[in-house]
Structure 1
Amino acid sequence: MLVQHLRLASRRSSGLTTGLATGLTALTVLLAVFGAQHAQAGVFDDEEARRQIKDLSIKNNERLDTLSKAQFDLVNQIQALREETAKLRGQVETLNYELESTKKRQQDFYIDLDGRLRNLEPQSAAPGENNPADGAKPGSDPGKKSAVDPAAVTREYEAALNLFKANKIKEAASAFESFVKAHPDSTLTPNAQYWLGNAHYALRDCNKAIAVHKVVVSKWPQHPKAPDAMINIATCQQELGDNKGEEATLKSVIAKYPDSTAAATAKKRLKK
């Protein structure tokens, strides 16, 4: 009886041992499988991270390439603008030089023409100079009349003209104005009045230039300077934006002085 109980207990112990061994084996297998899956998941996570980093790196490089190209294009555009600006500056300087040269040649031409016209004009007696054909009025002072020197008057006029020729415009304007006031009846006064108008124009005062030239036209309408004075009036009117006034003045030049050079100039300007 006792022997049977011992055998039964031995069998139960052996079964328990076998079951425990089997459970341990199964647990070991499960742990191995779980560890393998975890390791495989870790490998997959690293590869995904590396792929994402690589993608970001590629995108950043592409952006840098785009920015570099844009900066390079911008630098080229800036350089092109600098070259164009330098070219334009050179053209402006050339045009300014040509304009100043043209103005200088024009002044020289007018002064030369003025001299030739004065040589053609009859030399009348200067104001205040004794005229033998005129009878002396009672109470007059012959000594004062003979005090004016025609040569001195001519020198005074030429001095003012030389100031204009030297481009000393303000000084020339003052000199011509003084001459006109001092010698209102001199044969040189129309010329001085004309050059006074040109001086005001050169000083960019078109209103004064118009007023002065109108005196030439109204007071000495038959003087050779009168047609040119009207052309100068039209030029000032154009610069002041008075297109109707300019047109009327040019037509008046053609009507009053049809055979003059000024009339030919007026016809050309009216056609434009």
Structure 2
Amino acid sequence: MSRALAAASLVALLLPAAMPAAAGVFDDTEARKEIVRIRDAYGQRLDRLEAGSQAQLELSNQLETMKSEIAKLRGQVEVLTYKLDSIEKRQKDFYVDLDNRLRQIETRSQPAASKPVDPAAEARDYQAALDLLKAGKYAEAGDGFEKFTQSYPASSFLPSANFWAGSAWYQAREVAKAGDYYRKVESKWPDDPRAPDALLGLANSQQAMGDAKGARSSLEALLSRYPDSSAAQMAKQRLGKK
């Protein structure tokens, strides 16, 4: 039904009530004016109702659009979180595998320790600490490597044990302890393959402790001593050098 037809119908219904004993009360001019007034009033009410309905429809559409966008964002966050977890796991696996290979080479090249130790127990304790690190149990891994260095002071695994202890404590946010272990690696075993990364770890620990000057000094030392290492490339970026 059109608006005009609806208004006319309403007027037809309301007119008898609005004009009792129409004859003699309203003349034709007054009756027409009243009809126009009632029709206009009804039209305005219809306009307001339509405007309100349109606003509700637009709000509903906006809510549905927002729900759809939120769902997409959640999906993107889940994908990125999964990718980040996968990258971290691959990185840990890479370092642990590299460490195992290096330790096998060192074991074959190192002279026998003056104090007899059980090689099986030594390898078992070292691997147990590595497994804790791989599992993300950083504080437990830090304790494990710490105990290893105390139990096997002449072990060929000692440089690695100290390096991974630093890494574990850094991840556990024990940055002061992490810095101590990193510093020990780079000062006591400067020719070890992990020495460049130890200096980088030391710089990270110093930065986390608010020692920006010390961190810069460690990065400069890294560039000076191990210019061809991958850690040195990261140091260049940190220092803004090309």
TM category (shorter chain) comes to 0.7 to 0.9
Q: CA deviation at 1:44?
A: 4.5
Secondary structure of residue in 2 paired with 1:124: coil
> Do structure 1's residue 162 and structure 2's residue 131 form an aligned pair?
yes
Aligned partners of 2:202 and 2:135: how far apart in 1? 24
Cα distance change of structure 1 residues 162 and 124 upon mapping to structure 2, 3 Å threshold: farther
> Do structure 1's residue 69 and structure 2's residue 38 form an aligned pair?
no
Which stretch of the first structure deviates more once superposed, 226-235 or 198-207?
198-207
Aligned partners of 1:83 and 1:241: how far apart in 2? 43
Q: Is the 1:214–1:229 contact (alpha carbons within 8 Å) kept by the matching residues of 2?
A: yes
1:110 to 95, 100, 106: 95
> Do structure 1's residue 88 and structure 2's residue 73 form an aligned pair?
yes
Aligned partners of 1:183 and 1:169: how far apart in 2? 21
Structure 2 segments unaligned to the other structure (5+ residues): 1-22
Q: CA deviation at 1:186?
A: 2.4
Structure 1 segments unaligned to the other structure (5+ residues): 1-37, 130-145
2:111 to 109, 112, 124: 124
Secondary structure of residue in 2 paired with 1:224: coil
User: What residue in structure 2 maps to residue 181 of structure 1?
Assistant: 150
User: What residue in structure 2 maps to residue 15 of structure 1?
Assistant: none
Aligned partners of 1:152 and 1:194: how far apart in 2? 20
Question: Counterparts of 1:230-269 in structure 2 under 5 Å?
Answer: 230-236=199-205, 245-269=214-238
Cα distance change of structure 1 residues 208 and 75 upon mapping to structure 2, 3 Å threshold: farther
Aligned partners of 1:180 and 1:192: how far apart in 2? 7
Cα distance change of structure 1 residues 245 and 83 upon mapping to structure 2, 3 Å threshold: farther
2:41 to 50, 56, 62: 56
Q: Give me the TM-score of the superposition, normalised by structure 2.
A: 0.76
| Structure 2 counterpart of 1:110, one-letter code | Y
Q: Is the 1:125–1:150 contact (alpha carbons within 8 Å) kept by the matching residues of 2?
A: no
Which stretch of the first structure deviates more once superposed, 44-53 or 80-89?
44-53
Number of equivalences: 217
Cα distance change of structure 1 residues 237 and 102 upon mapping to structure 2, 3 Å threshold: farther
Q: CA deviation at 1:233?
A: 3.1
Cα distance change of structure 1 residues 240 and 191 upon mapping to structure 2, 3 Å threshold: same
| Structure 2 counterpart of 1:189, one-letter code | L
User: What residue in structure 2 maps to residue 9 of structure 1?
Assistant: none
Q: Deviations along 1:174-231, whole A, 9 cap, x unmatched?
A: 2112112223342212211111122223334444433332232233333221211122
Aligned partners of 1:240 and 1:86: how far apart in 2? 39
Secondary structure of residue in 2 paired with 1:39: coil
User: What residue in structure 1 maps to residue 167 of structure 2?
Assistant: 198
Aligned partners of 2:219 and 2:32: how far apart in 1? 92
| Structure 2 counterpart of 1:231, one-letter code | L
Q: Give me the TM-score of the superposition, normalised by structure 1.
A: 0.69
Q: CA deviation at 1:111?
A: 0.8
- Look at both structures and tell me which one has the larger radius of gyration over its CA atoms: 1
Aligned partners of 2:194 and 2:160: how far apart in 1? 7
Q: CA deviation at 1:97?
A: 0.6
User: What residue in structure 1 maps to residue 187 of structure 2?
Assistant: 218
Q: CA deviation at 1:81?
A: 1.1
Q: CA deviation at 1:114?
A: 0.7
